[in-house]
Amino acid sequence: MEQSRKKLRLCGAVTLSMTLAGFGSAHAKEVTDADILNDATITSQVVTHGLGTKGQRYSPLKQINTATVKDLVPIWSFSFGGEKQRGQQSQPLIHDGKMFVTASYSRIFALDAKTGAKLWKYEHRLPEGIMPCCDVINRGAAIYGNLVIFGTLDARLVALDKDTGKVVWRETIADYKDGYSFTAAPQIVKGMLITGNSGGEFGIVGRVDARDPMTGKLIWTRPVVEGHMGYKYDKDGKQIENGISGTTNASWPGDLWKTGGAAPWLSAYYDPDVNLIFIGTGNPAPWNSWLRPGDNLYSAATVAINPDTGQIVWHYQSTPHDGWDYDGVNEFVSFEYKDPKSGQVVKAGGKADRNGFFFVNDRSNGKLLNAFPFVNRIDWAERIDLATGRPVYKDENRPGNPFADGGGDGQKGSVVFNAPSFLGGKNQQPMAFSPDTGYFYVPANEWAMDIWNEPVSYKRGAAYLGAGFTIKPLHDEYIGALRAVDPVNGKIVWEVKNNAPLWGGVLATAGDLVFYGTPEGFLKAINAKTGEEVWQFQTGSGVIAPPVTWEENGEQYIAVVSGWGGAVPLWGGDVASRVNYLEQGGSVWVFRLHKS
């Protein structure tokens, strides 16, 4: 018996040793800078928000294609559980056989990517009094080294050991009591963690931060409201001035720049070809534009930042002096095309803006190359002047000044009917670009609004709008439309209409497929060249998140998060009543081809 006990102890020691060795090996498979830079071509992983630093959301995988997609079936689904459902907008990350996916109320899960088994969960403890503008969503995480990092609704960053889920560090972005929050997926650029912030409806100051992802300590910070000082930080955390953003009072009157909004509340993207970070900035505060004459830099813009210095290299304002809450946060996606006149390859960036225009800029210097509508109705501007890069406004469609019209009683300005609505021709739902077709695939919406201005003054932590609104559908038969857009000639090649607004992102693949979800609960596959629907699956709740794809052991997988919510049911006015039958949920679904 003693010999048996010795053998059992030896066997247990060997087993423990093998287990620890296995753990150590798994732990050692860290995410590197090379993994991130090559994410668009390494098909066994998804380690960036956007399936590559340029944000094209394109995969070279083609096992699932127009001929085989009919055999696509679900292989597992995982529920986020509990009563904390609401909107689910997360893009999963995949690395080393694991999936990392965030959920509403600042939660994150690690799952076995092949089976859906839960490996660990972290649930952030949120304080009372958080003030997220547009639901309690989270759009995803960043992964670097042995850490997975995500932001929280109380404007904090949390880094966890990706193998154990244990907290490694926490840092505060800003004070949530001032109206700050955070919902975007952070990005890793040149070994730095890049984040923006949320809270433009509360008179916060938008800024972009670079941090050491292993410690959370600041490297530089760049405000995106003109007049504020940027800073860099030495190894001891000492703050060093790094130049004022723009010129104080050049485009903002009085002290309004101190509460100017312009929150960069979506993810940044990075192009190593020109060594620039691209991030969109949100609405100026308050919404009432009569209170802040001027262009109000750098709100409603694409901002290009040098990651090595934190300096703004160029900016392009898609809606100067925004009076409709059009923001400019939508993703700026790097792509190339051949100039039809010169035959030269152009390094460009494309952006489907909330204001209804699609913009194409030279991504090295911001010069406007093309601008055209991607929605059917635009009331606020006649066109974008390609020579000046500025909109030609329809002044009669700017909400009225409450102190000069609408009776002049200082209570409410004249009401204007305007399209698109402030929820935009496209909002947070990311588009995709296919280098195979040369098309952008844009989840667009056709809707309008009644909007008016009201008096408002800034109060810490309170809503800072100075406007009222009601959103209205433009058509009885549809609101959403997935559109294939040619960025060179400005044409819509095809469209697939949808009754409810489209609020989820898009994935394009070399299998000539485009995947996207609908609020009605469907994940759909469309022929990328023709617009023909070739497959669909009902997930049980609305899809307002972007799909991803990867391969393991020679098999291609598709994943998407399902869970209805977000801004539409909260802010959607007459549109919200059209979709009030939709049920909430919270789950992730994974698919592959059926094995016969």
Domain ranges of the chain: 31-593
Please tell me the predicted confidence (pLDDT) of residue 581: 86
Q: Are 512 and 59 in contact (CB under 8 A)?
A: no
Query: Which residues, 6+ apart, have CB-to-CB distance to 199 below 8 Å?
Result: 131, 133, 155, 174, 178, 179, 180, 181, 261, 263, 265
- For every residue of 473-501, DSSP letters joined together read ES-SS-SEEEEEE-TTT--EEEEEEESSP
**Span 31-593 CATH architecture:** 8 Propeller (2.140)
The confidence score (pLDDT) of residue 71 equals: 98
Question: Given this model, what pLDDT does residue 211 score?
Answer: 98
Residue 178 corresponds to which tokens in the numbers above?
């001032």
The H or E element containing residue 35 is helix 33-37
Query: What is the per-residue pLDDT for 460?
Result: 93
- Identify each DSSP E strand in 212-300 by its residue range: 218-223, 229-233, 239-244, 269-271, 276-280
The tens place of each residue's pLDDT in the chain, 596 residues long, gives 334 333 333 333 333 333 333 333 344 599 999 999 999 999 999 999 999 999 999 999 999 999 999 999 999 999 998 777 889 999 999 999 999 999 999 999 999 999 999 999 999 999 988 888 889 999 999 999 999 999 999 999 999 999 999 999 999 999 999 999 999 999 999 999 999 999 999 999 999 999 999 999 999 999 999 999 999 999 899 999 999 999 999 999 999 999 999 999 999 999 999 999 999 999 999 999 999 999 999 999 999 999 999 999 999 999 999 999 999 999 999 999 999 999 999 999 999 999 999 999 999 999 999 999 999 999 999 999 999 999 999 999 999 999 886 555 678 899 999 999 999 999 999 999 999 999 999 999 999 999 999 999 999 999 999 999 999 999 999 999 999 999 999 999 999 999 999 999 999 999 999 999 999 999 999 999 999 999 999 999 999 999 999 999 999 999 999 999 998 988 888 888 788 888 899 999 999 999 87
The backbone torsions φ and ψ at residue 27, rounded to the nearest 5 degrees and listed phi first, read -65, -30
Neighbours of 397 (CB within 10 A): 17
Task: Single out the residue of 197, 193, 196 nearest to residue 176, CA to CA.
Answer: 197
What is the C-alpha separation between 79 and 97, in angstroms, rounded? 19
Which of 85, 104, 76 has the alpha carbon at shortest distance from 583?
A: 85
Q: pTM to 2 decimals? A: 0.94
Own/partner long-range contacts of 384-392 (Cβ < 8 Å, ≥24 apart): 384/357, 384/359, 389/316, 390/320, 391/319, 391/320, 391/355, 391/357
Q: In Å, how far are 63, 123, 171 from 490, measured between CA atoms?
A: 31, 45, 44
How far apart CA 228 and CA 303 sit, in angstroms, is: 15
The residues assigned a catalytic role are: 325
Measured CA to CA in angstroms, residue 101 lies from 106, 110, 441, 546, 577 at distances of 11, 7, 24, 12, 30
Compute the distance between CA of residue 85 and CA of residue 138 in angstroms, rounded to an integer: 12
Is 502 strand, coil or helix? coil
Cα dihedral across residues 578, 583, 589, 595: positive or negative: negative
> Cα 467 to the chain's mean position, in Å?
25
- The whole-number pLDDT of residue 535 equals 98
In this structure, are residues 349 and 332 in contact, taking their beta carbons and an 8 Å threshold? yes
CA-closest candidate to residue 400, choices 410, 419, 411, 413: 413
pLDDT of residue 132: 84
Instruction: Tell me the C-alpha distance between 103 and 85, whole Å.
Output: 8
Q: Which residues, listed in sequence order, are joined to residue 109 by a DSSP beta bridge?
A: 101, 121
CB 302 within 8 A of CB 351: yes
What does the block give as tokens for 347? 């390094």
